[in-house]
């Protein structure tokens, strides 16, 4: 099937979890020929077939990717090495040009058995929280790494599905993934902490999380529009040490580790408040309070 951008791309995808289903759905929408989809368990295969509207194989028998340009291993990071070995031993990767995984921190050396077979190896990590076929990838940044041929092929796929790409080599991979975890995972922990405090203050269970998400969304929208320093509101932006010390005391009464988190993040906010023009004496007073708390 021709896509109009570069040569036609044929794919096989092993693993139909959250990311695998999102990638396959985006590829199908872009007109990519996804010739094989396999996942380990029949339950996941049924779910994937329902979401994607196509056949998804499952079970111990690994279907062949013979002749496709790209075999994507969309499985949990710790499984990639074993699955590569199993696919190689089963002869499933014969004549495949590129084998890639979707891990963010994982190097491409785990794909060594495929490289020994003559495949170029690489990785494509989408910087988006994916939960299945409903997760769009349009506009998403993807970090690429690997052999030049693999990086080219993965860049081609990324372009077809509307993603932007950046090459992130092995040395920077852990730092890159830490940045991704701060944005995607630590935000979830912060929302859980915020909901816990709101609930302890009297909001009902479901309302507390909804209110926290609504507030966070407005803050994220402001950051996207204005940048971090200009978007900052609240007591740290005003250099209001009294209010923040009252927060810390209240959080310490609820769960001391939440007070620790708030204290450390308030320190980070002082730097942004400085850029915003908050008077230095107020910010110094806030830092003194944070040091003493």
Ligand X SMILES: NC(=O)c1ccc[n+]([C@@H]2O[C@H](COP(=O)([O-])OP(=O)(O)OC[C@H]3O[C@@H](n4cnc5c(N)ncnc54)[C@H](OP(=O)(O)O)[C@@H]3O)[C@@H](O)[C@H]2O)c1
Does position 130 interact with ligand X (CB under 6 A)? The reply is: yes
CB of 44 to ligand X, least distance (A): 3
Start-to-end C-alpha separation, the chain:
63
Q: Which residues contact 232 (CB under 8 A, 6 or more apart)?
A: 269, 272, 273, 276
Residue 77 or 260 with smaller CB distance to ligand X: 77
- The whole-angstrom separation of Cα 152 and Cα 159 is 11
CB of 227 to ligand X, least distance (A): 25
Residue 79 or 94 with smaller CB distance to ligand X: 79
Residue 18 or 255 with smaller CB distance to ligand X: 18
Answer whether 184's CB lies under 8 Å from 129's CB.
Answer: yes
**Burial of 123 by CB count in 10 Å (0-12 exposed, 13-18 middle, 19+ buried)?**
buried
CB of 131 to ligand X, least distance (A): 7
CA of residue 68 relative to chain centroid, distance: 26
CB of 257 to ligand X, least distance (A): 26
Does position 34 interact with ligand X (CB under 6 A)? The reply is: no
Residue 186 or 207 with smaller CB distance to ligand X: 186
Instruction: For residue 120, give the H/E element and its range.
Output: strand 120-126
- Per CB under 6 A, contacts with ligand X among 88-107 are 101-104
Pick the stretch among 13-21, 168-176, 224-232, 276-284 that binds ligand X (CB under 6 A): 13-21
- The whole-angstrom separation of Cα 136 and Cα 139 is 9
| Choice from 11, 13, 37, 74 touching ligand X (CB under 6 A) | 74
With vertex at residue 123, the alpha carbon angle to CA 122 and CA 128, rounded to the nearest 5 degrees, is 165
Size of the site for ligand X (CB under 6 A): 24
Bridge-based pairing state of the strands 70-73 and 98-101: parallel
Instruction: Quickly count: other Cβ atoms within 10 Å of residue 292's Cβ.
Output: 7
CB of 152 to ligand X, least distance (A): 20
Bridge-based pairing state of the strands 141-146 and 120-126: antiparallel
CB of 277 to ligand X, least distance (A): 37
| Choice from 10, 26, 40, 165 touching ligand X (CB under 6 A) | 40
Q: Which residue is nearest to ligand X (CB)?
A: 17
Does position 79 interact with ligand X (CB under 6 A)? The reply is: yes
| Choice from 3, 10, 30, 44 touching ligand X (CB under 6 A) | 44
Torsion of CA 41, 47, 49, 51, to 10 degrees: -150
CB of 38 to ligand X, least distance (A): 9
- The whole-angstrom separation of Cα 80 and Cα 73 is 7
Does position 39 interact with ligand X (CB under 6 A)? The reply is: yes
User: What residue ranges bind ligand X (CB under 6 A)?
Assistant: 15-20, 39-41, 44, 74-77, 79, 83, 101-104, 125-126, 129-130
């Amino acid at each position: 099937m021709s896509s109009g951008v570069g040569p036609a791309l044929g794919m096989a995808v092993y693993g139909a979890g959250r990311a695998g289903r999102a990638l396959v759905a985006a590829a199908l929408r872009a007109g990519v020929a996804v010739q094989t989809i396999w996942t380990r368990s029949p339950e996941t295969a049924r779910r994937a077939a329902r979401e994607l509207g196509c056949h998804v194989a499952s079970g111990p028998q690994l279907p062949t990717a013979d002749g496709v340009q790209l075999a994507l291993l969309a499985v949990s990071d710790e499984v990639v090495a074993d699955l590569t070995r199993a696919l190689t031993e089963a002869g499933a990767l014969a004549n495949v040009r590129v084998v890639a995984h979707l891990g963010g921190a994982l190097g491409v050396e785990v794909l060594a058995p495929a490289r020994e077979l003559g495949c170029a190896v690489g990785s494509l990590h989408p910087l988006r929280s994916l939960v299945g076929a409903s997760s769009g990838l349009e506009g998403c940044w993807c970090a690429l790494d690997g052999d030049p041929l693999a990086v080219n092929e993965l860049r081609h796929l990324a372009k077809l599905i509307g993603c932007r790409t950046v090459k992130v080599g092995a040395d920077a991979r852990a730092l890159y993934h830490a940045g991704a975890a701060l944005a995607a995972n630590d935000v979830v922990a912060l929302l859980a902490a915020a909901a816990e405090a709101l609930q302890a203050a009297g909001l009902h269970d479901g309302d507390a999380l909804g209110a926290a998400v609504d507030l966070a969304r407005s803050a994220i929208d402001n950051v996207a529009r204005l940048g971090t320093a200009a978007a900052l509101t609240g007591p740290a932006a005003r250099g209001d040490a009294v209010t923040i010390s009252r927060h810390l005391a209240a959080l310490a009464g609820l769960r001391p580790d939440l007070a620790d988190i708030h204290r450390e993040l308030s320190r980070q906010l002082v730097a942004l408040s400085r850029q915003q023009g908050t008077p230095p004496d107020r910010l110094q007073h806030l830092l003194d309070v944070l040091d003493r708390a």
